[in-house]
Structure 1
């Protein structure tokens, strides 16, 4: 083999190695995204600690419609939608629809300050996803994101971003058993 042939062979081998690495990275990134829950999927099971110290599991909601609202105290859209979510929860909980506000950190004092700083009173069950395991399982990004689950545990909708009162009512009606 002459020098020129050796050089071309090295370039080809290096290019193939680079392409193989790029493919592995691409496959890894897209595969982890595809693990996130989608509409029509079963809602992943979880167990989280609530504000009052008790635990809550997805299986606790069997036979009920569920609205999982992922939020953070630093999130301005979360602040704006929280009163409407609370009002609708009060109206629909008698119709077998539950709401769980899942805060993406474990900071009870910040949550209490957040709620006391709102213009309207908010009464929602709050749980903490301090390691973002549940948020990752549900593919949550950005905040707020709301996952709507029917009485059979199937995801009916995923709403990314702020919801208004009418949107919340529509989702509540969607999962009313």
Structure 2
């Protein structure tokens, strides 16, 4: 009986810590400072298009840091692809940035999922762009305003349910 009680207590402690961790992740995403300047970056997409902080000025951008091995990315990116195709947001440039993997794996995944990658996709060769943006999880969505300032950092899934993201998109449609 004593062993059973210990297992129940241990299970409750683990469950409680898991809830605290998940709540902490949500709070961390919401607590990012508003309108901080994005770091300087230059990247070339797999199709050869160049993007930089400077080239995106005047247009809002959603940078999506992802990896082929990430199960949440595999779920979220098709949703983002559908949104991008349906909404065709003229004033929002979506750029997917594969990182934390080998270039060949990123290229193969993109090539095998053309219905998902309907927006420009780049590879962060040495993970320097993801480091500059302090990316610590996949996926991480970084929303830049038209002045190149970070308006939102969202880690993990559920970007479309994020109220700040939805509010920002609604403001673009005006």
Q: TM-score, normalised by structure 1?
A: 0.67
- Give the count of matched residue pairs: 141
C-alpha distance 39-149 of structure 1, shift in aligned 2 (>3 A)? same
User: What CA RMSD, in Å, does the superposition of the two structures yield over aligned residues?
Assistant: 2.8
The structural deviation recorded for 1:45 is 1.6
What stretches of structure 2 of length at least 5 have no aligned partner? 1-31
Question: Residue in 1 aligned with 2:119?
Answer: 124
Q: Does the residue aligned with 2:77 lie in a helix, a strand or coil?
A: helix
Question: Residue in 2 aligned with 1:69?
Answer: 64
Question: Residue in 1 aligned with 2:147?
Answer: 152
Report if aligned partners of 1:147, 1:159 keep a CA contact under 8 Å in 2. Answer: yes
C-alpha distance 153-105 of structure 1, shift in aligned 2 (>3 A)? same
Structure ID, larger Rg: 1
Question: Residue in 2 aligned with 1:86?
Answer: 81
Q: Is 2:105 aligned against 1:103?
A: no
Q: Distance in 2 between matches of 1:120 and 1:63?
A: 28
C-alpha distance 41-121 of structure 1, shift in aligned 2 (>3 A)? closer
C-alpha distance 93-38 of structure 1, shift in aligned 2 (>3 A)? farther
C-alpha distance 48-124 of structure 1, shift in aligned 2 (>3 A)? same
Report if aligned partners of 2:141, 2:159 keep a CA contact under 8 Å in 1. Answer: no
Structure 1 runs of 4+ with >6 Å offset: none
What stretches of structure 1 of length at least 5 have no aligned partner? 1-36
Q: 1:50 aligns with which of 45, 48, 56?
A: 45
Which deviates further from its counterpart, 132-141 or 55-64? Answer: 55-64
